[in-house]
């Protein structure tokens, strides 16, 4: 697995995002990966996204942070979509990229649980 993607996934799990899924979108444009995660509420999404950015040392503006329903973080080769509960289903990126989901190894998931 791509080291940068692994770092992103681990950081999302550490700050407690739920249902984190990665998609391989390299054939569709500039980015190689798309990552989606869910928070319980708008306020939690804003809080967790800020914590996530601190962990990965991302200091740029977060698109959508002011509303907190759908926050987008562009790391060039990885674009991260962080949703407040209910909004992920509304925009349904998971259905759009269904056939491109990356199977996350058991070893990476074990790191999450530590």
CATH number at residue 22: 3.30.460.10
The whole-number mean pLDDT for each consecutive block of 10 residues of the chain, a chain of 114 residues, reads 91 96 85 94 97 94 94 95 94 89 66 50
Task: Please state, in angstroms and as integers, the Cα–Cα distance from residue 7 to each residue in 1, 12, 91, following that order.
Answer: 10, 9, 26
Of the candidates 76, 97, 111, the residue with the CA atom closest to the CA atom of residue 21: 97
Task: For residue 79, tell me if it sits in a domain.
Answer: yes
Task: For residue 7, tell me if it sits in a domain.
Answer: yes
Q: Regarding beta strands 78-84 and 18-24, do their DSSP bridges make them parallel or antiparallel, or are they unpaired?
A: unpaired
For residue 99, give its domain range.
3-108
Task: For residue 113, tell me if it sits in a domain.
Answer: no
Burial class (CB in 10 A: 0-12, 13-18, 19+), 68: buried
Q: Is the pTM of this model over 0.85?
A: yes
In the sheet that holds 78-84, the strands lie side by side as 18-24, 33-39, 78-84, 70-74
């Amino acid at each position: 697995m791509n080291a940068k993607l692994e770092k992103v996934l681990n950081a999302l799990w550490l700050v407690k995002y739920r249902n984190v899924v990665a998609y391989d979108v390299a054939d569709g444009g500039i980015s190689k990966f798309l990552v989606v995660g869910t928070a319980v509420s708008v306020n939690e999404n804003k809080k967790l996204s800020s914590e996530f950015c601190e962990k990965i040392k991302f200091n740029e503006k977060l698109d959508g942070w002011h509303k907190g329903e759908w926050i987008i973080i562009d790391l060039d080769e990885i674009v991260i979509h962080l949703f407040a509960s209910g909004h992920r289903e509304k925009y349904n990126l998971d259905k759009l990229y269904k056939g491109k989901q990356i199977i996350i190894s058991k070893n990476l998931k074990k790191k999450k649980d530590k």
